Chain A
Amino acid sequence: MSSVTKSPPAVIRCQTCGKEIPLGADSCPACGRHHSESSPRLTLAILLILIFAGFAFTQYVVRLHRATEASLAKRWFNRGNQDMQANLPSLAAEDYRTALSYDRENRQYTLSLAEALLAANRMNEARSHLTSLWEEEPASGEVNLALARLHVRRGDRARAIGYYNNAINGVWDEQPRQQRIAARFELVRYLMQQHDLAEAQAELMALQADGPPDPSDQLLLGQMLLQANDPKRAIDAYDIVLRNDPRNADAWLGKGLAALQIGDYLAAERALATALEHDPNSEQARQQLDLVREVLRIGPAFRGLSLAERTQRVAEAFSAALKRLTGCAAQQGYSLAAPNTAKAGARASAAKTMSLPTVEATTPAPSNLQQLYSSGVQKQASATDAALRRNPDALEPTMQYVFEVERTAASICPTMDLTDRALLTLAQNESETVK
C-alpha cells in the first residue's frame, strides 16, 4: 500500500470535456458532468487489477497470434517445398520468404530460402542469408554445405573446399554420420569435376577408413574409387558389400570393372559373369563380359600361351590395328599418303592383300595418324605370323605399335568394334603398368 503524502491539490480537468474544474467543485462547470473524488490508493488498486487483467488478455491475444503465425509459416513453407519439387525455385523462394516473415528465427526456413535462391541463381541473396546463418552458427554442417555449394557455383574453389571440409567436420542435428559421409561424397564429386584426382583419392581414402555403414554408400564409394583410378581400393569396397550381400549384382559388376581396370581379366570375367548371373538384364555387365572375353581371346601376353599362339595373336592384333587405322582415316575423310612414292605400289598391293579399304579422301591426315600409317606399312612384312615366329623379339615392339594405333585412333574415332575395344583395354592397362 502506498499513499501520496506531499501531493498538493491539482487543478483537475474534466474527464469528458477537458476543461479545468475549480478546486472543490463536484461537477464540471462546462459540461456538468459529476466529478467523483476517488482516493489515489483505490485508483492504484484498480490499476494493478487492470494490469493483471491486461496481462492475461495480452497473453491470450499474443498466443492466438503466434498460433496463427505458426500455422501460416508452416503452410507457406510446405508450399515452398512443393514449388521446389516442381522445379520452380523463384516461386519457392517467395514462399519461403513469406514463411520466414512469420517465423523469423526459423533456421530451416532461412536455409531453404537460401537453397531456393541458389537454385534460382540469385547468388547474392543466397550468400547474404547463408552468411547470416553462418555467423549465428559457424559450425553448422547444413549451412557450411550450402555455402560450399554456393561457392562451387561461383567458381571459388578454395572457399568451396573450405566450406565442404567445415560441413564434413561440422555439427549436424540429424543423422550426423550419414550427413558427413554425403558431404564428403559431394566434395569428392566436386574434386573429380575439377580433375583433382589426387585430392579426390585422399578424400575417398578417408571415407573408406571411416567405413560407411550403408551398403549403398559402399557401392558409391567403390564407383568413385573406380572413377578416381583407384581400382584396388574399389575392389575392397565391393568386397565389403559382397560379404554381406553375395548376390549384389551391382557389386559384382563394380568388382569386375575394377578387376578389368587392374588388368586381372580372369577375375574380371568371373565377377562379370556372376553379375550377369544375378542380374541377367544388366546390359553393362553383358557388354563388359564380352569385352573381357575378347581381351582374353586376343591378348598375347597371358601366361600359358605357346609361342605359336602368341605370334598368331600378335599378327591378328597388328592386322586389326592397321585396319582400325585406315578405317578411322576413311571415317574422318583423311587421306593417308604412302611412306614414299617408290613404295606406293607396295602399299596398294598390301592394302589389297589385307583387304584394307582404299582411302579416297583428299584431306591430309593429322601427322600422328600419318606417321603410324607409314610405320605400319613398313612393319607389315615383319608382323606376319611366320615372320614373328622367326623373330620372337619383334613381338613386343609390334604389340607396342598396336597399342599406339589403338590409343591414337580412339582419340579420333570413338566408335570401334569389340576387338578394337579389347585391344584398347589392353593398351590402357599396359600404359598403366608402364606408369
Chain B
Amino acid sequence: MSTSEPVVAKPKDASGIKPAVSTPTRRQYWSSLRTMLSPQRFSLREEQFFLLLAVLIGIGSGLAVVCFRMSIEYLKLHLLGSGLLPSVPRVFLAPMLTGLVIAFLVIRFFPRARGSGVNQTKAALYIYDGYIPMPTVIGKFITSALAIGSGQSLGPEDPSLQIGAGIASALGRRLKLSREKLRLIAPVGAAAGLAAAFNAPITAVLFVIEEVIGRWTAGILGAVVLSAISSAVIERWFLGDEPLFRVPAYHLEHAGELGAYASLGVIGGFASLAFVKYIAYLRPRLRQLPSWTQYFQPAAAGLLIGLIGIKFPQVMGAGYSYMDQAMHEQYTWQILAILGALKIVTTGLSFSSGTPGGLFAPVLFMGAMIGGAVGMAERQLVPQLAIPVGAYALVGMGTLFAGILRAPMTSVFMILEVSGNYSIIVPVILSNAIAYFISRTFQPTPIFDLLSRQDGMDLPSLEEEREVPLLRVEDAMRPPLGQTLTGKLLLHEARQRVQGSAQDYFVVGMGGDEWSGMSRAVLLDMIPNSDIPLSQVLTARIPYLHPDHPLDTALRLIGGRPMLPVVHRAHVQQLLGVVSLDDVMRAYRGAGINESHPEPAPVVP
C-alpha cells in the first residue's frame, strides 16, 4: 500500500465529486458556540424553572438553617454555659434578661416575627400572595435564636420553616414569578427550612402539605420534595447525618404489647388536650393585657422558666439531648412525668408570651417524657412487658405530635424517619390514632387553626377539608330512563326510537370510549328513512363521567350541554346514569355546603 493513499475512504457526495473542504474560522467557532449557549436555546419553561428554583431554595434555606442552628448553639453556650446543668445565676437571669431584649426587638422592629412561624407562612400563602418580608425573616432568625439559646421552652423547627419560606418568597419576588407561582413558593421554602431543621425531608414534606398548604395538591409536590431533599443534603453536608436521637433497637415481640401502647395513646391524648386547652386559655388573656406589658411578657415567662430550670434545667430550650437521655432510661418514671408536665407549663408560658419560637421540639419533648414515664411505670406494674423505654419515648413523641399538632400522617412518618425502625409502625399508628381521636373529640379546632383564629385569620386546614363532605357524581346522577342511543343505529331507527320518547336530549354511545349527544329536535329534522348510521352523522364528542368523580368535575365538564353520561369505569359503553346542571345544583343544595362553615372564633385584638 502506497503511503500516499488515504487509509480511510473519504466521504463523497452523491455525484461522486469530492466536496470542497472548508476550514471554519475562529469567528465561526465563536458564533456557533454563542448560538449553542444562547439563552433562547437554554431557556426553560416556567415549570422547569420552578423546579430548578426549588433546588436553589433548598440549598439557600439549608445554609440559613445551619447558620440558625449554629447561632442557637453559640448563644446557648454563652448564655447558659457549656455544662448540661447550668449554674443557678445563669438559669435565673439568662431567659429573663434575654426576654426583655426579644420583646423590644419584636415590638419595635420585627412585629411579624411573633409566634411559631407555621401560621405566618400559611397566611403568606393564602392571604399575602406568598409575600413574606425579608425583615421578618431576619427578625425571626435573631429573636428565635436568642429565645431558644437563652432557655425559653421553644424549638427551632417552626422558625426554620418560616425562614425557609421567607427566603423562597424573597427569591420569587426578585425573579418576578407569576402570582400563582409566587404564592406556591412559600411552602417550597417552608419544606426546605423544616427539612434542614429536623434532618427529616419526608416529615418536612408531609408537614408542609398537612399544615401549611392544608390540602393535597400535586401541583407543587415535586418542587416541595426537591427543596426538602436539597436542604436536607446541605444540612447533612455540614452537620453530619447523625439522627436527632440514638434510638434503641425495638421489635414488636408480642401482640400484648399493643395494649401498653394503647394506654400511652390515651394518656398522650389527654396530655395533648391539656396543652392545647392551656394555650387556648392563656394566649388570648396575655394578649388582652395592656400593650406596655408586651415588653415584659417574654421576660416574665423567662423568669418563671428560670425558676423551674433551677431544679429542672431539662425543660429549658429545645431539649433534644434530654429526649435522648429519656430514651436511654436515664430518669425514673416520676422524674419523666414531672418533666413532661413542666414542659407543658413552660412551653405554654413561652409561646403565649409572644416569644418567637416553635412548638415542634417542645411537643416532641413532652411526648418523649410522657412516653418514657408510661413505659417505666408499666414495666414496674407488669414486669413481663420487656419493652424498652426508648420505644415508649419514641412512640410518645408521635402520640403528642398527633394529639397537639393534629398532623397524623406527619406524626407517623416522623417517627419512622427519625428511628429508621419500621417495627415500630404498628404501635405508633395505634397510639397516634387514639391520641388524635381524644384530642379531636374534646378540642374540635386544631391548635394552628385556633391560633390563626385568635389572630383574626381564617386559614384552611387539611383537617377542616376532611370534615367537609365530598360530593361525588353518584350523589347527583339519575338513571338514563330511555335516553340512550348507540352510534350503530340507522337514522330511521333512531328517529323511531325518539319519536315515542318525551325526552329532549339523548346521549349516544359511539363505541370504544366515545360518547356523543344530540337533541330530539335535531334528530327529527334529519332526512327520514335514511340508512346512514348515527355514528356518521354525529362527529362531535362529549365528555363522560364516572360515579366516583367529584361533583365539581361535572360542573367543569358540563359546559353548555344539557347533560353528560355517567359510565362504568371498566365498561365505558355501559351507561349508569346521566347528570345535568340542575342535578348538580340540586345535590349541592341538598348537602347544605354553605351551612357547614365553622363559626368564627373571637378575634383577639
Contact = CB atoms under 8 A, between A and B. Distances in A.
Interface string A37-56: 01011011001101100110
Interface stretch (B38-46, B200-208, B466-474, B489-497): B38-46
B174 A13 contact: no
B321 interface: yes
A8 interface: yes
Interface of B: 37, 39-40, 42-46, 49, 52, 56, 59-60, 63-64, 66-67, 70, 73-74, 77, 82-85, 128-129, 131, 133-134, 171, 173-179, 181-182, 238-239, 242, 246, 248-249, 321, 324-325, 328-330, 388-390
Given A18-B128, A101-B321, A135-B249, A5 B45 contact: yes
Given A104-B324, A128-B329, 4 more contacts: A2-B39, A7-B177, A40-B176, A72-B82
B129 A3 contact: no
26 contacts: A2-B43, A3-B42, A5-B45, A7-B46, A9-B176, A11-B129, A18-B128, A40-B174, A40-B175, A43-B174, A50-B60, A54-B60, A55-B63, A58-B66, A58-B67, A72-B82, A76-B83, A94-B85, A97-B325, A98-B83, A98-B84, A105-B242, A124-B329, A128-B248, A131-B249, A135-B249
B359 to A, nearest CB: 23
Given A5-B45, A51-B60, A132-B328, A62 B70 contact: yes
B318 to A, nearest CB: 12
A65 interface: yes
A27 interface: no
B84 A5 contact: no
A114 to B, nearest CB: 10
Contacts of A127: 329
A202 to B, nearest CB: 33
Contacts of A58: 63, 66-67, 70, 238
Contacts of A135: 248-249
A232 B82 CA distance: 59
Contact of A44 (B40, B175, B242): B175
Contacts of A54: 60, 63-64
Contacts of B238: 58-59, 62
B82 A12 contact: no
A10 B177 contact: yes
Contacts of B52: 2
Contacts of B390: 128
Contacts of B173: 12-13, 15
A79 to B, nearest CB: 10
B82 A4 contact: no
Contact of B175 (A43, A59, A102): A43
A125 B332 CA distance: 10
A242 B83 CA distance: 53
Ranked 4 nearest A-B pairs via Cβ: A128-B328, A54-B63, A128-B329, A3-B39
A362 B301 CA distance: 81
Contact of B39 (A7, A41, A104): A41
B129 A13 contact: yes
B600 to A, nearest CB: 25
A97 B60 contact: no
Interface in A106-149: 124-125, 127-129, 131-132, 135
Contacts of B63: 51, 54-55, 58
A363 interface: no
A252 to B, nearest CB: 52
Contacts of A94: 83-85
B523 to A, nearest CB: 45
B44 A5 contact: yes
Interface in A126-183: 127-129, 131-132, 135
A3 B328 contact: no
A125 B330 contact: yes
Contacts of A3: 39-40, 42-44
B43 A5 contact: yes
A127 B388 CA distance: 11
A5 B64 CA distance: 30
Given A18-B133, A94-B84, A124-B329, A47 B171 contact: yes
A104 B77 contact: no
Interface in A49-107: 50-51, 54-55, 57-59, 61-62, 65, 68, 72, 75-76, 94, 97-98, 101-102, 104-105
B176 A6 contact: no
A133 to B, nearest CB: 10
B84 A4 contact: no
A20 to B, nearest CB: 8
Given A7-B178, A125-B329, A128-B390, A68 B46 contact: no
Contact of A10 (B37, B73, B179, B249): B179
A434 interface: no
A62 B329 contact: no
A50 B134 CA distance: 16
A156 to B, nearest CB: 14
Contacts of B45: 5-6
Given A12-B173, A13-B131, A4 B46 contact: yes
Contacts of A342: none
Nearest to B246: A132
B131 A18 contact: yes
A209 interface: no
A184 to B, nearest CB: 29
Contacts of A76: 82-83
Nearest to B389: A128
Nearest to B379: A124
Contact of A8 (B60, B178, B321): B178
A4 B171 CA distance: 14
Among B60, B83, B389, the most chain A Cβ lie within 10 Å of the Cβ of: B83
A50 B246 CA distance: 35
B111 to A, nearest CB: 12
A430 B238 CA distance: 75
B46 A47 contact: no
A135 B129 CA distance: 50
Contacts of A47: 56, 60, 171, 174
Contacts of B64: 54
Contact of A38 (B129, B174, B182): B174
Given A40-B175, A125-B328, A125-B330, A132 B67 contact: no
A61 B67 CA distance: 7
Contacts of A18: 128, 131, 133
Contacts of B325: 97
A209 B418 CA distance: 49
Most A CB contacts (10 A, CB to CB) among B70, B74, B324, B329 go to B329
Contacts of A6: 45-46
Nearest to B322: A101
B590 to A, nearest CB: 39
A1 B74 contact: no
Contacts of B242: 104-105
A18 B324 CA distance: 43
Nearest to A48: B56
A147 to B, nearest CB: 14
A10 B178 contact: yes
B176 A12 contact: yes
A3 B39 CA distance: 6
A2 B45 CA distance: 10
Contacts of B182: 10
Contacts of A13: 129, 131, 173
A27 B66 CA distance: 36
Interface string A1-37: 1111111111111010010000000000000000000
A41 B44 CA distance: 12
A61 B74 CA distance: 10
Contacts of A72: 77, 82
A94 B175 CA distance: 52
B327 to A, nearest CB: 8
A250 B388 CA distance: 50
A1 B42 contact: yes
A251 B363 CA distance: 66
